[in-house]
Structure 1
C-alpha cells in the first residue's frame, strides 16, 4: 500500500540518493558540513515558493508571478524598513504585498474566470516592473542590522530558519492531508464540476491557494532581506520556474489533483543538489540550465508513460 500511494515520492527519493552518491564521488566537497549549509541556504527560498506553488498546481492552475511577487514584496518591505528603521513594519509590508498579489490572482482566476496562465503572466509583468519603478533600478543597502538575526540565529549549531522552513513543510503538508482546505484543493484539481456539485465553494477554493502562494512569496522576501540585509530589484526573478520544477519533479501533476508536500520537499532538495553539485564540478550555469530542463522533461515523460501503462493494466 505504501509503495502504491507514494510511488512518485519513492522514485524521486531514490533518484536523489543516487545523484548524491555519484556527486560525492566526483567531488569530495559535496558532503562536507559547509557545503550542506550552503545547500540549505540555496533551497530555502525556492522551498518556500514551492510550498505555495504546490497548492496552486493541485487546483490545475499555475502561478508564474510568484518569483517577482517575492521581489516586489522584498522591495516594498525593504523600502519601509530602510526609511523607518522599523523591522516589524518592513516584515508586515512584505507579507501584505505578497498576500495581496496572491489574492488578486486568485480572485481573477476563481471569481472572474480568467485563465491562470494569463493572469499570473500579467501579474509577473506588473510586479517585475513595479519593483523597478519603486526603486529606480537602485538597490537598498541601509536595512537595520537587526534584520540579520532572523537567519543568523542558531540552535545547536543549526540556523533557526532552516528548522522553521521544515516545520512549514510539515504544517502545510498536514493541512493538505487533514483539512477541508486541503480536500477542496485536491477536489478542484481532480474534477471541478464534481466538486461544485458536491457542495464545494469552487470560487473560494480556487482563490485560497493563490493567496497561500502569495503569502509564501512574502515569507521568502523576509528571508532574503534577512540573509543579505539588502534589497536588489532582481531578487526573485526566475525563481518561479525553480519552484514549479521542484513540484513537478516531486510528482505533482500540471493537470491538477495529484501531488504531495513530501514529494515537493524531495523535489526541492533534488533540484538544489543538482545545481550545487554542478557548481562544485565547475559546470557552466548555462549548461546547468540545460541539465535541469532535461530533468524536468524526463520526469514528465516518465510520468506520462507510467500513467499510460497503469491505464492499460486497469482495462
Structure 2
C-alpha cells in the first residue's frame, strides 16, 4: 500500500510540474479508453457520419452543461434546464413565425431565445438569492412551471416553423462540421475564459467554496449566484435555437426531457465538484463527449434504450465516488 501511495504521489507531482490538471486528465484518459473500446466493439463507430451525429447530439446537452457548470461551481444546482428548453423553444418559434421577412425573423427569434432563456435564469436566481429557497427546491418547482406553461401555450401541440431559412441554422455545416458543434466549441472557449481569467470567475469559485467567507471578503455573493443562473439560462436559449432549428419544430411534451440529467452528469463526470468551489469547462466538454459516446455505443450494440438511464445513473455514481475518494 505504501508503494502504491508513493507511486500515486509521484504521478500527481509529475502532473503538477507539467502544468496539467488531474481533474481534467482523469476524464480525458477515460475518454481515450472509451474511444478505443468503442472502435473495437463496433466497426461502424469510426464512420464519419456516425461521429458527426454523435457530435451533433452531444452539442445540444453540452451547451446546457456548460451553463450548469457555472451554477454548480457556485454551489447551486439547476433542475429546470430541460423544461426551459421546451418553453424557450416555443417562444422562439412563435416569434419566428410572427415576422414575415425570413432573415429578420431569424434575428428576432435568436434574440427572443437568448433573452427569454436569460430571463428564466434570472427568475431561478432570484428565487435562490432573494427568496432564500434552496436551489434544488427552487429549480425543481420551476422545472414543473416551465413545462406546464409551454404545454399551455401550445395546447400540448407541436409548433412548426414556417421560415425557409431556419432549418439551415441547426442543420447546416461549416467546413464540414455541423453548426451546433461550432456553437458548442466556441461557447466552451468563451466560458473557459470567463471562468478562469475574469473577476467573475474567481468570485464564483470563492462563493462556491465558502459563501460566508466570500461575503466577508467583500464579494457580492447574491450577484455572483444570480449571474451563474443567468448564464445557464442563456446557454439553454442557445441550445433551444440549435435543437428547434434542426427539427424545424418543437414539441413541448418531450423537448428537453431528461436534459437536466445529461447536463449534470456531464459536469460531474468532467470533475466539477458537486459541493461547489472548483470545476472545469473543458472537463464538462469531455464529460458530455463521454456520455454521447456511451449512448451511441449502446445503440450500435443493440442494447435496449430503457437501460440507457441505468448506465447514466451508474456513471454519475462512479464519478461522485471517484471525487469523494480523491478528496480523502
TM-score of the superposition, structure 1-length normalised? 0.94
1:264 to 2:284 alignment: yes
In structure 2, how many angstroms separate the alpha carbons of the residues matched to 1:155 and 1:75?
A: 27
1:159-178 to structure 2, matched below 5 A, reads: 159-178=178-197
Deviation of 1:150 (Å): 1.3
Aligned residues: 308
> CA-to-partner distance for each residue in 1:44-81, whole Å, 9 max, x for gaps?
11011001100000011000001111110001111221
Equivalent pair of 1:145/1:229 in contact (CA under 8 Å): no
2:234 aligns with 215
1:135 to 2:150 alignment: no
1:274 aligns with 294
Listed as ranges, the gaps of 5+ residues in structure 1 are 309-315
In structure 2, how many angstroms separate the alpha carbons of the residues matched to 1:278 and 1:286?
A: 11
Between 1:170-179 and 1:78-87, the stretch displaced more is 78-87
Q: Matched residue of 1:146: which SS?
A: coil
1:245 to 2:265 alignment: yes
Deviation of 1:2 (Å): 7.2
Please identify runs of 4+ aligned residues in structure 1 that moved more than 3 A: none
In structure 1, how many angstroms separate the alpha carbons of the residues matched to 2:290 and 2:56?
A: 14
In structure 1, how many angstroms separate the alpha carbons of the residues matched to 2:125 and 2:40?
A: 46
Match of 1:146 among 159, 162, 165: 165
In structure 1, how many angstroms separate the alpha carbons of the residues matched to 2:67 and 2:29?
A: 25
1:312 aligns with none
2:69 aligns with 54
1:1-315 to structure 2, matched below 5 A, reads: 3-4=15-16, 6-85=21-100, 86-233=105-252, 234-308=254-328
In structure 2, how many angstroms separate the alpha carbons of the residues matched to 1:18 and 1:127?
A: 39
In structure 2, how many angstroms separate the alpha carbons of the residues matched to 1:143 and 1:223?
A: 16
> CA-to-partner distance for each residue in 1:135-155, whole Å, 9 max, x for gaps?
001101243121112134433
Q: Matched residue of 2:61: which SS?
A: helix
> CA-to-partner distance for each residue in 1:183-206, whole Å, 9 max, x for gaps?
111010011111111110111011
Q: CA RMSD in A?
A: 1.4
Equivalent pair of 1:99/1:215 in contact (CA under 8 Å): yes
Between 1:232-241 and 1:51-60, the stretch displaced more is 232-241
TM-score of the superposition, structure 2-length normalised? 0.91
